[in-house]
């Protein structure tokens, strides 16, 4: 009908004139891999970031800041900010990667490192009485796993077997994820309880498919971090556009691995300036922009809810949360 065609054309002209920021709010949205106290310049800014997350329906953030790493780990402060923002935070126990591993653990055995993790899990972090809900992030270097990093991974495996808590890893630029899977599986870890971190920094579909086929989960946990200060001396600024993450997610979902992906931003204050249209502009609220972009790219609302809420809750042994 001609009369119907005219207004549609007009509408198209209007929408193409000014592009609107996509936004897909999701009640119960959860972030799997964050360092909230290092995401803002101070507690007030951190609170604002948490509130931006709450505004889109966010209810849960996992703080995976390990022991003895340069990022701020203050569970009582974060708990009080989270309470004010009316969201829930969970904590991890673990050691990061070289060169950020404390000298003191060099002389410890795998079992002794595991004992440290288990003590925090059973008795709480420091004197706070707040018990970790995950083991991590435990990490490995770029294209290599050092003997000490392997020892920490094996200690994480022992702590997992004893406590049943899931393990969240760090990979550097999305390398060595498969080797992490090998080590953890060989140490008797149930891979359904493992999130291999920063898989979205590796654009290789086969790498991601192989990790998911083994039964582990893929951390698409640097969403919006399109530019960041690389740990590698050869590249001062590293680059991974969200278009790559969206393409990978669509391919993985198409192949039936939509229940193996969890989302997060891994947002750090020092890198927000490098990402003005994502982390800088929206803070933790960027997750809802990214979900909106996934919807625009054709991903269904159920798949989005799995990625941003249900999968992580399953891994954490929780149900519901809406």
Residues 125-154, one symbol each (x = binds Zn ion by CB under 5 A, - = not), give ------------x-----------------
Provide the residue count of the chain. Answer: 322
Q: Is 73 in the site for Zn ion (CB under 5 A)?
A: no
The size of the interface with Zn ion (CB under 5 A), counted in residues, is 2
CB of 2 to Zn ion, least distance (A): 58
CA–CA gap between residue 124 and residue 96 (Å, rounded)? 19
Of 43-51, 125-133, 167-175, 302-310, which part binds Zn ion (CB under 5 A)?
A: 167-175
Tell me which residue has its CB nearest to Zn ion.
170
CB within 8 A of 300, min separation 6: which ones?
A: none
Contact 170, 141 (CB under 8 A): no
Of 48-56, 84-92, 122-130, 169-177, which part binds Zn ion (CB under 5 A)?
A: 169-177
Of 51-59, 166-174, 255-263, 293-301, which part binds Zn ion (CB under 5 A)?
A: 166-174
Query: Of 225 and 309, which CB lies nearer to Zn ion in the complex structure?
Result: 225
Of 170-178, 200-208, 224-232, 306-314, which part binds Zn ion (CB under 5 A)?
A: 170-178
Instruction: Scan residues 223-252 and list those touching Zn ion (CB under 5 A).
Output: none
Closest CA to 34 of 279, 278, 264: 264
Q: Is 170 in the site for Zn ion (CB under 5 A)?
A: yes
Query: Of 200 and 242, which CB lies nearer to Zn ion in the complex structure?
Result: 200
Q: How far is CA 118 from CA 165, 183, 259, 306, in A?
A: 10, 20, 29, 30
Q: Is 35 in the site for Zn ion (CB under 5 A)?
A: no
Contact 68, 101 (CB under 8 A): yes
CB within 8 A of 293, min separation 6: which ones?
A: 22, 242, 246
Record the tokens describing residue 269, joined without a space: 């204050």
Radius of gyration of the CA atoms of the chain, in A: 20
Q: Is 293 in the site for Zn ion (CB under 5 A)?
A: no
Q: How far is CA 312 from CA 141, 162, 167, 192, in A?
A: 25, 21, 12, 11
Query: Of 120 and 137, which CB lies nearer to Zn ion in the complex structure?
Result: 137
Q: Residue 63 — φ and ψ, nearest 5°?
A: -90, 110
Query: Of 170 and 272, which CB lies nearer to Zn ion in the complex structure?
Result: 170
Residues of this chain that interact with Zn ion (CB under 5 A) are: 137, 170
């Amino acid at each position: 009908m001609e009369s119907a065609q005219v207004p549609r054309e007009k509408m198209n002209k209007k929408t193409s004139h000014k592009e609107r920021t996509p936004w897909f709010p999701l009640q119960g949205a959860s972030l799997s891999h964050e360092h909230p106290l290092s995401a803002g310049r101070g507690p007030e800014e951190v609170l604002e970031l948490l509130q931006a997350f709450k505004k889109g329906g966010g209810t849960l953030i996992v703080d995976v800041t390990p022991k003895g790493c340069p990022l701020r780990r203050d569970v009582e402060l974060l708990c009080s900010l989270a309470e004010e923002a009316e969201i829930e935070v969970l904590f991890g126990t673990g050691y990061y990667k070289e060169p950020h591993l404390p000298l003191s653990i060099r002389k410890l055995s795998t079992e002794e490192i595991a004992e440290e993790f288990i003590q925090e899990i059973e008795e709480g972090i420091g004197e706070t009485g707040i018990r970790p809900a995950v083991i991590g992030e435990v990490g490995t270097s770029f294209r290599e796993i050092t003997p000490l990093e392997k020892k920490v991974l094996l200690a994480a495996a022992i702590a997992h077997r004893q406590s049943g808590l899931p393990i969240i890893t760090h990979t550097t630029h999305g390398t060595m994820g498969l080797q992490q899977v090998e080590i953890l599986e060989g140490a008797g870890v149930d891979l359904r309880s493992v999130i291999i971190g920063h898989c979205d920094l590796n654009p290789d579909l086969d790498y991601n498919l192989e990790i998911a086929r083994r039964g582990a989960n893929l951390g698409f946990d640097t969403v919006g971090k399109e530019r960041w200060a690389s740990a590698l001396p050869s590249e001062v600024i590293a680059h991974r556009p969200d278009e790559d993450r969206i393409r990978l997610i669509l391919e993985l979902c198409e192949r039936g691995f939509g229940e193996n992906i969890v989302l997060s931003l891994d947002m750090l204050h020092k890198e927000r300036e490098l990402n003005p249209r994502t982390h800088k502009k929206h803070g933790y609220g960027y997750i809802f922009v990214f979900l909106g972009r996934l919807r625009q790219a054709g991903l269904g609302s159920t798949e989005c809810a799995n990625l941003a809420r249900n999968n992580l809750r399953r891994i954490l042994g929780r149900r519901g949360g809406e």
